[in-house]
Structure 1
């Protein structure tokens, strides 16, 4: 039998779930009706997707009680914001999956990833798609000595969060653990300069770009 998806917190099925015929999806508007709707023990996999504008501990306790007492059930939260207590909980608990509203288009992909037994990453911070370009250069701070010549390069952001970004540049000059400086223009039109460290890098042969995961050395407002 197909995996059964129970949608809570919205009034209509997301288009991507309507299109995927390998999943059976239904809306359950009242979360207290979920237990009754999930009684069918012949369903091999059950997933609740809870859309919440704000996730706090009381929501977590309600849904996690369902997960603990219902066989083969997994909870996906799609949120616009997390309480500070839930951010702490997210760092310590991997029994539930948090996706940000900005990641909603990846919902079906992440459901299939979970059903295939693969890990689905929960992020503590919302990631915004950034349309502005940026400049990448060696760090201005005496944190460590990068290797080799590293020029100032223009690049594009794939996404941007308060604690980091994924950036694409046109040449493979930066490596894992290198300290860098990023300069870009924010939504208000102000130029922002940030110090960060490369946490991962890979060369994309198809686009001839180096992709860098950069962790900022201090939290910023994007």
Structure 2
């Protein structure tokens, strides 16, 4: 499915609660809302490089404040691991895995209604589905990417870092293995050094997301 086709289908679902859409609202874990929406529009599931033929779908938790959508979390984009760290250290933004993954994004704000006792998934709904094309923000994204990569190179380690434009950030994103109970270290063959005890990931910052989905 093409990104524009998914966009049209999701726009038709805006402001309709998960209950109205007959989405399975029980035991929703992080990421489950996006999976349910993908299934609803007929998007194939599985471990693919891209969700659509030409882009990615990124659902994210939000809330409404005075008619404005406020993101409650950053959006994870790509993992930084031993398998790809040297590619990042040697690639420009446009030629990197990150540049490829976010060239076309479908941002899907999920307004997660809650009461004092907790979240009420059957009352959740999506709003302001947004097509994001990185070319429109190429200069700022490149500056953030170059800044982050330069910090890794000069400090010889990976740590939480945000770019000067506050569009991109890297921070840890890892979980211990069930058997080993250990995180996954990031080792650079190019630099011949361990850069981190954990995998990291690139994220879109909340301030940037808010600007995009409220345009």
TM-score, normalised via structure 1 length: 0.27
Greater relative contact order structure (CA < 8 Å, 6+ sep): 2
Q: Which has the larger radius of gyration?
A: 1
Instruction: Give the alignment's TM-score, normalised by structure 2.
Output: 0.28
Query: Normalized per residue, which structure has more helix?
Result: 2
Which protein is richer in strand relative to its size?
1
